[in-house]
Amino acid sequence: MREGRFFWVRGPVMTRQEMQEYYDKGYTKDQVAEIKLGLEEGLDIEPYDDKGFFSLQMREIRLGLMKEIPVNIYARKDFDWFQMEQIRLGLEEGLNVRLYAYPRVPFDIMRQLRLALADGINLSKYVSLPAGTLRELRKAIKAGVDLAPYIEDRYDNEQLEQIRISLENGINIKPYISNELRGSSIEQIRLGLEQGLNVRQYTGLHYEWRQMREIRRGMEHQVNIELYSNPFFDWQQMREIRLGLEDGLDVSSYANLMYPATDMSVKRAYLAAGIVDTSFGVFGENKAISYNNFEIKITPDQMTAYFQLTGKRVGITRSVIRNALEERGIVRGIDEEVINKILTDQVGNQPQIIAQGCKSEPGPDGYYEFFFKTEINRQPKVLEDGSLDYKDIEWFEQVKKGQKLALYHPAEAGSVGFNIFGAEFPQVKGKELGILTGKGFYIEPDQRTYVSNVDGIVELNGSKMEVSNLLTLGDITAYMGDTRFDGNVHIAGSVSNGCTVIAKEDIIVDGFVESARLEAGGNVILRKGVNAQGKGLISAGGNIEGSFFENANIRAGGNIKTSYCLKCDVESEGEIEVSGRHGSLIGGSTYARVRIKVNEVGNDTGVRTYVKVGVSNEVIRKQIIISNEIKKVDKELASLDTAYKDLAALYPPEARGDMDMFQKIDTVRNAKKEIKGKLMAELAAVEKMIEEAKEAQIEMKGAVYEGVVAEINGKKWAASERSVNVILADDDSGIKIMKG
């Protein structure tokens, strides 16, 4: 033991006297707390029992001792506690930390090297690169894209992030960018390329990123961007012109560099409301002009003129009325029928609308003409007994590469409006629709025609159109090996024992499925059914539907539908429906997070049939894990806050601004707060799921036999005798039993 250091061997609890001795030696309260915790945990605190360590450094050494890792690698004063943390985490993960455990390596670079090693990537030769660049390089290597040429060209981390995302999405962004563009500008180029836009119209260095955004948004909404793509417009001016164009307005009255954006906004609002310039001299004044025995009054909007008798009708002729109207400047919208009624004494002294203007009416809106079925009925045929027939279901529409998918018809200008003085209003175009987004197609140079660039399946969902690859196969047999496809798989035949089919999108099988493995990122549709003999797996990120399931393992991220289920292990994150008068769920285990709807459950032999709804054990585990992570982050934030306050008390603001340690603490505090925010959002989602599970039900419309065991949110019910039409729900006192 070195002179001046204390090591207590008398027991795990420090007395007040022993704590005071540490204070007398100059240890802070937080340092003593770390020593006390180490002793209570039965650790040999010698590696950090030194007041030269900050309390947070002590904490990292203590945590390492608890994990029984070789803390001597980092229990040094020339490592700050952020570096210590990265070395400790690397040791706990079994990584070769000696590739980065050097005091000269900043902690944020250590972190990227550690995360890379955890992914099996050694980036130690790039230790001289900034941390942000290392992060993007790590992500790029993991995704299988080559970012090295751009790093060599000295793109910064914000630029590299957008380039990496482009490369991961298969977009060739290189011809459109340079390292003189900010990352936010490259992002606008990437977004445009993803939407099939001609980004060369805004890729120049003379545009800043917000101007690029306004031009891109205009292209998305198919308006005439030439009216505002002048780089001398600032982005707010561009926005006002774009919004006017999207509303079908004639923006020529304000699309001028002389108007600031605030004035443009007012003029746009006037145009949208149909208000025009009222500077027409005396003709526009809102006061009645009296003649010998009548008067003419004009409304402030100059759209309506009223005629009213003020005396006897004697002397009023057509020419007198015409001359009066002409004197007022009223030349359009004159109602000759009203003049006739005045001359034949049919109106009395009531005011009459003698002239009426007409507002400009918007023209037809833009629309898409599609050359494929945009709506497909994917519902199976319901037979007389209520069961489902998937034989003739129409699940998709196939298209060929080069096939025209859609044609956009632009909005048209409407009728010209006018006021009673003859001033014409600008034409108003109908509204343009936004471009179609998605994948698997390209837009021809006319920016109107959409063409498929792959053979596949086309789907339309709102303004998103996708053409997914389609692989069509016959019978799948074991000798063919595994089938993996980045798209949809249509199996026109059957799937034999031992086969594996993995698809990124949907899997549709026309024939029977035996003990095979089918995994789909989307849905799985079995037109007939499956008898898997208790082997294999059918898994889908979406829904699973089939005529029958026997001895199968079924996992769905969405809903499950079938007409018959025998001795299966079934799990759904949505609902499970076993339909039809003879729809039976017999044997096995069936779990749905939301609801199970079935006709018969079990059989008269008393076969054990387990049905469960509500919160799964996995959700509960996730809630516990997230809650523990939040507690851990809270402790870390508390320690960082203490260190922050200690430094703030020791050094004035002007000194702290140049302190590397102070800046690190501030950076990590903000990062931890961000992490906590994400964890809180995840926890809220899980807790919402748990709350919704209280509404989970099991609906058994037909017979329920002895041997059936039901569970709702951990509460169990067992059928002791045959019963009919039972609905089970959660209740504070247990499971509530209702009759349907």
- Closest among 411, 50, 34 to 222, alpha carbons compared: 411
**Are 477 and 497 spatial neighbours (Cβ–Cβ below 8 Å)?**
no
Q: State the DSSP code for 10.
A: S
- Closest among 440, 428, 354, 433 to 401, alpha carbons compared: 440
Count CB neighbours of 467 within 10 A. 26
Number of H helices, E strands in the chain: 17, 35
User: In sequence order, what are the beta bridge partners of 729?
Assistant: 697, 736
**Are 111 and 134 spatial neighbours (Cβ–Cβ below 8 Å)?**
no
- Closest among 368, 372, 445, 366 to 405, alpha carbons compared: 372
Using alpha carbons, list the distances in angstroms from residue 30 to 57, 85, 343, 454, 638: 11, 18, 102, 64, 11
Q: Sign of the C-alpha dihedral, residues 268, 270, 274, 278?
A: negative
pLDDT at 276: 56
What percent of the chain shows pLDDT beyond 90? 54
**Distance between CA atoms of residues 221 and 242, nearest Å:** 9
Q: Mean of the per-residue pLDDT values for the chain?
A: 87
Find all residues with CB under 8 Å of 11, minimum gap 6, and list them.
Answer: none
**Are 176 and 200 spatial neighbours (Cβ–Cβ below 8 Å)?**
yes
Q: 3-state class of 415 per DSSP?
A: coil
pLDDT at 208: 95
Q: What is the dihedral of CA 697, 701, 702, 703, to 10 degrees?
A: 30
pLDDT at 386: 59
- Closest among 459, 483, 455 to 469, alpha carbons compared: 455
**Distance between CA atoms of residues 537 and 56, nearest Å:** 49
**Are 465 and 405 spatial neighbours (Cβ–Cβ below 8 Å)?**
yes
Residues of the chain with pLDDT under 70: 1-12, 274-290, 376-395, 654-659, 740
Which pairing describes strands 715-718 and 723-731: parallel, antiparallel, or unpaired?
A: unpaired
Q: Where are the beta strands (DSSP E) in 254-293?
A: 289-290
pLDDT digits (tens, 9 = 90+) for 494-537: 999 989 999 998 999 999 999 999 999 999 999 888 999 888 89
**Are 156 and 132 spatial neighbours (Cβ–Cβ below 8 Å)?**
yes
**Distance between CA atoms of residues 124 and 145, nearest Å:** 19
pLDDT at 72: 95
Using alpha carbons, list the distances in angstroms from residue 347 to 305, 325, 341, 448, 604: 16, 18, 6, 56, 90
pLDDT at 383: 64
- Closest among 504, 489, 369, 378 to 439, alpha carbons compared: 504
Q: Where are the beta strands (DSSP E) in 594-656?
A: 595-598, 600-601, 609-613
With both helix axes pointing from N to C terminus, report the angle between 107-118 and 131-143 in degrees, rounded to the nearest 10: 10
Which pairing describes strands 595-598 and 507-509: parallel, antiparallel, or unpaired?
A: unpaired
- Which residue type is seen at 567? K
